[in-house]
Structure 1
Amino acid sequence: MEIQKYVLNQVPVTLIKTSKFKTTVVEMMFLGSFSKANATKHSLLLRLLRASTKRYPTKKALTNRLFELYDASVAIHSLPSFATNVTFVSMELINDQYASKDSSLLEAGINLLAEILFNPNLDGSRWNQHDFLEQKRILKAHIENVYNQKGRYATQQLIKTMCQGEITAVSRLGDLDDLKILDEETMYQYYKEFIRENLAHIYVVGDFDKNTIMQALQVLYPLKGGDNPYSPIKLSDFIPKQVRQIEEQQKINQARLVMGFRMSIKFLHPFFIPELIFNEMFGGSFSSDLVQTVREKHSLCYSISSSINVADKIMLVHAGIDGGNSAKVQTLVLEILHRFQKGEFDLNNLQIAKDLMISGLNEIEDRPETMIDFIIKNDLLQRQMTVKEVIDQIKEVSPEQIADVAQGVYLDTVFLLTDEVNHD
């Protein structure tokens, strides 16, 4: 494998040349501002771009074109990282050497990406009405359907309360009130803003000729490059003064408990390695203390896990429980956290957590998508580390570092979604 970095028309290009795969992946990353003002517009825009183009004005026509390219695939999605909206537009198609065409399949695929990005299905200065209304209807249904996904709904309600007034509380899916006022012209104006202001990076993984791929990428020249002015990581700490308890009742069979914690992250490690290992030990795997104690030993939940969002400095504990066990589960979770803060945890679990993380890193080069993801994390954090360097840092994490991470975890808000029977 050979990694080379270039700049094409001010846009950073990372070429990862390898003969390991029969496909080539071209992925564009766009960095822009994430805010309440643009979240719903951005969510709808990505759906509109996926649906059709001017040349391929229906979903069927676009799908047929992908089929002609030996069943190539296109993916468009976004993930906010604190104040940065990170958008991905990617295509995967088979390598030219496995195709029986005289013309370059890779070049045709990149041309289709340019078509999707720069030739949307417009009627003058407005989005095509049929596409707009259809995608708006679908997005509305997705937003409304969150209510029916009780685990996701409980998490959403906790974040709304816990992070009220913060960017973290904004849903990347969008807001119904904001969606209602969007029209075809508004979306065209936002599309122009997206192309004009978002900063692009291009990544290519596969077996290709450098000169050929750089020439093919020229069709993406309207893209803009530059340093990301938006913070991908929350820098300030927030220590809650008191714990908020919220309960909501619905007709459900299994209660959902979500505990929201603030984290004080010291940014000593480029990839937040001690924080990730702590989460793995605390509730991130079957061998974790939450699973083994709350579920296996005390049988107080159907499921339990923890997850951390280092960009927003938040840890969440999710549990499926009987509503009447809420207080007992909360007490046990806090007892386990306090033990971690005192350094009282099984060192075997520390080694298991390290081994799990190292195993995942060793598999990065098995798929083109994970190879790109690893390089993107480096670029977002403006650091350059190899997989081996990250593995070496994992091996060096000490029990004292895990306790130090735990000491910076503070319970902020608890949300219980339970049935309509009151529990004491």
Structure 2
Amino acid sequence: MKISKESVYEKQGYRLHILPSKKYKTVSIVAKLKAPLKREGITERALLPNVLQKATNNHPNVRALQSALENLYGTGFSSDGTKKGENHVLSFRMEVVNEAYLTNQEPILEKAMQIFSDVLFNPKVEQGGFDEAIVNREKQTLEQKIKSIKDDKMSYANMRLIDHMCEDEPYALHVHGYLEDFPAINAESLYEYYQGMIDRDLLDVYIIGDIEEKEMEKLADQFFSRSRSENKDNHQDSVASGKRKVNEVIEKEDVNQGKLHIGYRTNIKFGDDDYFALQVFNGIFGGFPSSKLFMNVREKHSLAYYAASRFESHKGLLLVFSGVDPKDFDQAKSIILEQMEAMKSGDFSDAQVSESMEQVINQLQETMDHANGLIEVLYHQMLSGVSIPAKEIIENVRKVKKEDVIKVAEKIELDTVYFLTSQKGGEE
């Protein structure tokens, strides 16, 4: 898989990443604002992406802004916030038609970047604050989102697992914020938080498409430079509470299906030498339908409605999810823990290693086939301080041997067993 080389420029108040590629018919622009995860201001931060993309001073309401994007051949714009290890990243994404493929010579890209810049740096402000109606509406929407997590029992169980597992670590903070913060947030206080964020956060801008590099650099400088920011990286390294005994937590709710979620510490992060072997490990253990968890917990013993695992690249966590009948808790837990022991003792074949390796490579290629997926891979690398060309990523996965997977398994430590069960528990 050939991917053009990424050029990285340190600019005034931002870092610019340009990837010229003839593969894409559109131009993708992504801006990422990063700050350490902190309890203070986390709810404001969760609100901001939605408030910012509703109105700017030049397009003062939702309809005007939407109409301006639609007039640029249906330019798409979206935003969200996520945790990357112990850091809080807000992403703003735009996909715009490449004017090179249009018959008229309208400067579509320049107009689109002007709107993008307005969303980030020139939001609608009146009397020292954001538009009050927009803020109130977005507070209601976010409030509903936070409340609805409890209705999605799988998401809720995962959140509770992290609450217990990472109790004294920033990673336990809820990326959507907290209901108790809402009364104190208004149009003025949110704007005040925004101003600090725009000055302090590390800003990375990615531009990918069939573009001319020097021209893009000039346009980016016009629309993304921040005169008041030094664009310092205040990266917050991942912390762990230290070795402790395995924590088992059982909570009861009005549920029919129990949620058995188990958290492990992998002691491996993105950028580590054995990260590629961890990807293959996860495929064999619980990442794919042919995995040990799926075959043993669900298929062989019919104990789970689902059973799978995934890992968090920057925090070094491996999370197991399963939905089980409350009465089957002990048996399901034993079988899941047995699968980890089987991995540690090398109870899997070279054929399984090869199969998992191919599935991991397919997944990577699929991700990097899309501009936004490729940007995520590049941003992951930047966060970890390790730059690996796309081709080498695939080669490194392909080099993984059975003994590498066993070494990874030996590093993994059980941390927390969390079970969300019915009010009656496992009683019949």
TM-score, structure 1 as length reference? 0.94
Q: Distance in 1 between matches of 2:278 and 2:178?
A: 32
C-alpha distance 266-45 of structure 1, shift in aligned 2 (>3 A): closer
1:241 matched to 2:245? The reply is yes
C-alpha distance 322-212 of structure 1, shift in aligned 2 (>3 A): same
| Aligned equivalent of 2:267 | 264
Alignment of 1:196-345 (within 5 A): 196-217=199-220, 218-222=222-226, 224=229, 226-231=231-236, 233-234=237-238, 236=240, 238-250=242-254, 252-265=255-268, 269=272, 272-345=275-348
Contact 1:260/1:317 (8 A) holds in 2? yes
Contact 2:13/2:225 (8 A) holds in 1? no
| Aligned equivalent of 1:131 | 134
Tell me by how many angstroms 1:350 deviates: 1.1
Tell me by how many angstroms 1:59 deviates: 1.3
- SS at 1:415 equivalent: strand
Say which of 391, 401, 420 aligns to 1:417.
Answer: 420
1:37 matched to 2:40? The reply is yes
Q: Distance in 2 between matches of 1:267 and 1:259?
A: 21
C-alpha distance 235-163 of structure 1, shift in aligned 2 (>3 A): closer
Contact 1:258/1:414 (8 A) holds in 2? yes
Contact 1:237/1:263 (8 A) holds in 2? no
| Aligned equivalent of 2:394 | 391
- SS at 1:411 equivalent: strand
Q: Which moved more, 1:201-210 or 1:216-225?
A: 216-225
1:350 matched to 2:353? The reply is yes
Tell me by how many angstroms 1:197 deviates: 0.1
C-alpha distance 331-198 of structure 1, shift in aligned 2 (>3 A): same
Contact 1:361/1:387 (8 A) holds in 2? no
Q: Distance in 2 between matches of 1:260 and 1:244?
A: 10
Deviations 1:148-181 (A, max 9, x none): 1111111111211222221111010111012232
Q: Distance in 1 between matches of 2:138 and 2:50?
A: 6
Tell me by how many angstroms 1:104 deviates: 0.6
Structure 2 unaligned spans of 5+ = none
Deviations 1:261-305 (A, max 9, x none): 223227773582122221111111101100011111111111110
Q: Distance in 1 between matches of 2:165 and 2:179?
A: 21
Q: Distance in 1 between matches of 2:13 and 2:69?
A: 29
Deviations 1:314-343 (A, max 9, x none): 221111111111110000011111111112
C-alpha distance 267-47 of structure 1, shift in aligned 2 (>3 A): closer
Contact 2:271/2:384 (8 A) holds in 1? no
C-alpha distance 81-267 of structure 1, shift in aligned 2 (>3 A): closer
Say which of 359, 367, 370 aligns to 2:362.
Answer: 359
Q: Distance in 1 between matches of 2:92 and 2:276?
A: 28
| Aligned equivalent of 2:115 | 112
Tell me by how many angstroms 1:101 deviates: 4.2
Deviations 1:56-86 (A, max 9, x none): 2221111111100110011211222222222
1:408 matched to 2:419? The reply is no
Q: Distance in 1 between matches of 2:87 and 2:171?
A: 11
Tell me by how many angstroms 1:374 deviates: 2.0
- SS at 2:207 equivalent: strand
1:372 matched to 2:385? The reply is no
1:88 matched to 2:91? The reply is yes
Deviations 1:332-390 (A, max 9, x none): 01111111111222222111111111122333552211222222122111121112211
Tell me by how many angstroms 1:205 deviates: 0.8
- SS at 2:73 equivalent: coil
Contact 1:12/1:225 (8 A) holds in 2? no
1:7 matched to 2:10? The reply is yes
C-alpha distance 207-328 of structure 1, shift in aligned 2 (>3 A): same
Contact 1:285/1:305 (8 A) holds in 2? yes
Structure 1 unaligned spans of 5+ = none
Q: Distance in 2 between matches of 1:215 and 1:172?
A: 35
Structure 2 counterpart of 1:202, which letter? V
Structure 2 counterpart of 1:146, which letter? I
- SS at 2:149 equivalent: helix
| Aligned equivalent of 2:152 | 149
Q: Distance in 2 between matches of 1:335 and 1:239?
A: 22
Q: Distance in 1 between matches of 2:194 and 2:91?
A: 15
C-alpha distance 179-3 of structure 1, shift in aligned 2 (>3 A): same
Structure 1 counterpart of 2:17, which letter? T
Q: Which moved more, 1:1-10 or 1:344-353?
A: 1-10
Give the count of matched residue pairs: 422
C-alpha distance 296-261 of structure 1, shift in aligned 2 (>3 A): same
Structure 1 counterpart of 2:362, which letter? S
